[in-house]
Amino acid sequence: MEIGLNHYLVLSTILFSIGLVGVMRRKNLLMLFFATEILLNSVNISFAAISHFYGDLTGQMFAFFVIAIAASEVAVGLGLLIVWHKRHNAIDLDLMSTMKG
């Protein structure tokens, strides 16, 4: 049995659904980062699969840029998480909604 485009798109949809549930349930910031990464990886699977199916490298280039932006997002986010944890000894998102500048 050959793995076709539909298999990749179904996998991407399942991963996107798992990531979306993780973002909606968001109990702490670290789990929110993990769920966001699952969302971005599901989109990357779709980009790469469609790109391969049509024989074009555009989707794979988009996936490469999404990976680069996700890495920078995680680096900045984890830096903020460490500072927040040092100050408040918790990473609960409900406490972060009361931040004042």
pLDDT digits (tens, 9 = 90+) for 46-59: 999 999 999 999 99
> Structure pTM?
0.82
Alpha-carbon distance of 79 to 85, in angstroms, equals 10
pLDDT digits (tens, 9 = 90+) for 5-31: 999 999 999 999 999 999 998 777 888
Nearest to 96 by CA among 22, 16, 5, 32: 32
Considering the domain 5-96, what is its CATH architecture?
Orthogonal Bundle (1.10)
User: In the chain, how many H helices and how many E strands?
Assistant: 4, 0
Query: In the chain, where are the structural domains located?
Result: 5-96
Higher-confidence residue of 93 and 51: namely 51
DSSP letters spanning 32-59? HHHHHHHHHHHHHHHHHHHHHHHT-SHH
Which of the 8 DSSP states describes residue 28? B
